[in-house]
Amino acid sequence: MTETSLRTTAGELPLHEYHLTLGGRSWTVLHTGAVLSMDDEQRFLREQRDRTPYGVVLWPAAIALAHEVAARAASLGSARVLELGAGTGLPGLVAAAAGAHVVQTDRHELARSVGTRNRERNGGRTAEYRLADWTAWSDDARYDLILGSDILYAAAMHPHLRAIFDRNLAPGGRVLLSDPFRVPSLALLEAMERDGWTVTLSKWTVGVDDAPRSVGVYELAAPR
């Protein structure tokens, strides 16, 4: 169902509403389309003529990561949380609802606009949304938890992401990344494990019953 629209330089962008229950409460997420199955993803990539940022779409990895964050809510308290490539912003908003102070980032203004609307709809008072580019990163703050859903698909960005992990992860902190087992993503995780990072995996299944999507959620701890 079309819920509303977002005015852009290319005209009105229709937004849809996705409902889910996490951590004992209901959430509504505005997005330009839900990519839940592999068929959905292939169709989206074929039809991506207007080059709408990927982040304004709701991806299965974001839903899986939000479930993982909700499962860890009791440990978040007043933690400092950084969300990279936040897009529609669901995982970070779940962390904020648990009491964390969340900085959500994306390099696209459209994603920031949709993510900000989702914060307003879901009461994420301890979340703020900033525009930020991984290739020109300027944040020196330390965070107890760094979140990212489906952000590892581009190998060219891996050095920039690793630099952010090294620069911004607080001592004893964790990086929590969700990914539908993409080949470039696994290559980065294996490389980090070789370099001494501890990598642990949990699995989630997201999507419609006839075409479920498996998503891995990886917890990374820096070398001691």
Identify the CATH number of the domain in which residue 182 sits. 3.40.50.150
Residue given tokens 């839940």 in the structure block: 36
Residue given tokens 């990072």 in the structure block: 197
Contact 66, 178 (CB under 8 A): no
Of the pLDDT bands very low, low, confident and very high (cuts 50, 70, 90), residue 124 is: confident
- The domain of 185 spans 59-221
pLDDT at 95 over 80: yes
**pLDDT the model gives residue 223:** 96
Please compute Rg for the chain using Cα positions: 16
Q: What is the pTM of this model?
A: 0.93
**pLDDT the model gives residue 51:** 67
Q: What is the mean pLDDT of residues 206-218?
A: 85
pLDDT at 85 over 70: yes
Q: What is the mean pLDDT of residues 101-117?
A: 95
Contact 168, 82 (CB under 8 A): yes
- The Cα–Cα gap between 186 and 189 comes to 5
Express each pLDDT in 150-201 by its tens digit: 999 999 999 999 999 999 999 999 999 999 999 999 999 999 999 999 999 9
Query: Is the Cα dihedral 183, 209, 14, 177 positive or negative?
Result: negative
* Percentage above 70 pLDDT, the chain: 93
**pLDDT the model gives residue 211:** 73
- In degrees rounded to 5, what are phi and psi of residue 87? 55, -125
pLDDT at 220 over 60: yes
Q: Is residue 109 part of a domain?
A: yes
**How far does Cα 58 stand from its chain's mean position?**
10
Q: Is residue 115 part of a domain?
A: yes
- Name the average pLDDT for the chain: 92
Q: Is residue 157 part of a domain?
A: yes
Q: Is 190 helix (H, G, I), strand (E, B) or coil?
A: helix
Q: Is residue 30 part of a domain?
A: no
Contact 131, 109 (CB under 8 A): yes
Query: Using the 8-state DSSP alphabet, how is residue 34 labeled?
Result: B
- Here the tokens at position 88 are 């529609």
Helices 109-122 and 90-97 pack at an angle, to 10 degrees, of 30
First to last CA, the chain: 49
Least confident interval from 59-68, 76-85, 117-126: 117-126
Q: Is residue 151 part of a domain?
A: yes
Residue given tokens 């979140």 in the structure block: 147
Q: Is residue 4 part of a domain?
A: no
pLDDT at 1 over 60: no
Q: How many domains does the chain have?
A: 1
Q: Is residue 75 part of a domain?
A: yes
**pLDDT the model gives residue 43:** 86
**pLDDT the model gives residue 191:** 98
- The Cα–Cα gap between 177 and 169 comes to 13
- Here the tokens at position 39 are 């068929």
The number of beta carbons lying within 10 Å of the beta carbon of residue 1 is 5
Q: Is residue 34 part of a domain?
A: no
**pLDDT the model gives residue 33:** 86
pLDDT at 9 over 70: no
